[in-house]
Amino acid sequence: MTRIFVLLLIGVAVAFGRPEPATAEPSVWTKFWPATDFSRSSIELSEIRNGGVGKDAIPAIDNPKFMSAAEADHLKPTEPVIGVALNGEARAYPMQVLIWHEIVNDELGGVPIAVTFCPLCNASIVFDRRVQHPAKGDMRLDFGTTGKLRNSDLVMYDRQTESWWQQFTGEAIVGELTGAELDMIPVRIESFAKFRERYPEGQILIPQDEKFRRYGMNPYQGYDSAWQPFLYDGDLPPDVAPLSRVVVADGRAWALDFLRDKKRIETEDGLLLEWEEGQNSALDAAVIGEGVDIGNVTVRKKTTNGYQDILYTVDFAFAHHAFHPDQPIIYK
């Protein structure tokens, strides 16, 4: 296991560039982050760790490029994407691109969004980039990567104030905007085939330069079958493996293996969780399109107009437990 983590750290550093110093000392960080107000934070700064790369070494995408879903023949039908639909427009953001960039600053249906993916937590979350600054009023933020981790999760920063944000929760944890929260947008984490079936006129994110990274390849090969998370020393969840997946919705969590066995779960308050085969893991095989089948999950809630999609995530169990330790994982 130690060998796996050493290889992962070397691989990340080679793929994305040289890191900043590993120390969690603001006096050192200010050299790289002169605009960040380290006197303001909602966490202990010692909880933040160097992830093996420096600021923006994993480069966010700022001017995303798309092609029509109907013409996208470079994606295998079972490849994972984040499917987003807003105000009559639909786009899919493939993991084969996100795994190398982690953040896409985009605008869809008139809404400025940040599409994010943390491979180490398997966390796919889309945010509205608009926030209310206590003194400056409405702000529209653009996000980049700090190269830092907390609970093994991506720590983002906004370019307007250089505050640091926890990707898993959407909360500003360091800097001028400490305490602010981004609104999460309901999306589907699904196969390319599922997205194209729902939105045949939709668009697909493609690389700005297809030679910039080894798109389609997985730099974290075998990570979701590891025994222990990378750069994480917190408590592990009881009853389920730390790198097993959990489906989280409406303040509750279900083990993905449990949902896969059941295929369909209905709750007394109207939630409907369903599982169907046909989506690759992005973190298994060297080639993403050859990863193990983890299936497609949908989570909807019964309303007077039928079942409607709601916000849900499919994360690694350790990350869910780290950020929501009082929220048990239903596994049987």
What are the tens digits of pLDDT across the range 110-119?
999 999 999 9
Q: Residue 126 to residues 3, 178, 242, 270: CA-CA distances in angstroms? A: 33, 20, 24, 24
289 Cβ contact partners less than 8 Å away, ≥ 6 residues apart: 75, 76, 78, 79, 96, 216, 280
130 lies in the same domain as 242: no
Can you tell me whether residue 199 is helix, strand or coil? coil
pLDDT tens per residue, range 115-174: 999 999 999 999 999 999 888 899 999 999 999 999 999 999 999 999 999 999 999 999
59 lies in the same domain as 143: yes
pLDDT for position 8: 55
pLDDT for position 10: 47
97 lies in the same domain as 245: no
Q: Helical H runs in 46-180?
A: 95-101
16 lies in the same domain as 88: yes
258 lies in the same domain as 160: no
Residue 9 contacts residue 137 (beta carbons within 8 Å): no
On whether residue 198 sits in a domain, the answer given is no
157 lies in the same domain as 241: no
For residue 198, what is the enclosing H or E element?
Answer: helix 192-198
Please state whether the predicted TM-score (pTM) of the whole model is above 0.85: yes
On whether residue 216 sits in a domain, the answer given is no
Q: Which residues of the chain have pLDDT under 50?
A: 1-7, 10
Range of the domain at 63: 2-174
Q: Which of 157, 174, 191 is the last residue of a domain?
A: 174
Strand partners, 116: 103, 125
165 lies in the same domain as 238: no
On whether residue 200 sits in a domain, the answer given is no
On whether residue 33 sits in a domain, the answer given is yes
Dihedral sign for Cα atoms in the order 144, 126, 171, 111: positive
Question: Dihedral angle at the C-alpha atoms of 261, 263, 266, 272, nearest 10 degrees?
Answer: 140
On whether residue 96 sits in a domain, the answer given is yes
The two three-digit tokens of residue 69, written as one number: 């879903």
pLDDT for position 28: 85
Q: Which of 174, 207, 234 is the last residue of a domain?
A: 174
- First-to-last alpha carbon distance for the chain, in angstroms, is 29
Q: How far is the C-alpha of 121 from the C-alpha of 221, rounded, in Å?
A: 14
Per the structure, the count of domains in the chain is 2
165 lies in the same domain as 258: no
32 lies in the same domain as 116: yes
165 lies in the same domain as 226: no
235 lies in the same domain as 139: no
On whether residue 30 sits in a domain, the answer given is yes
At residue 247, what are phi and psi to the nearest 5 degrees? -100, 125
Q: Which of 239, 231, 238, 224 lies closest to 316 in space, CA to CA?
A: 224
Q: Which of 147, 174, 201 is the last residue of a domain?
A: 174
166 lies in the same domain as 251: no
pLDDT for position 142: 98
On whether residue 297 sits in a domain, the answer given is yes
* DSSP type of residue 24: -
On whether residue 188 sits in a domain, the answer given is no
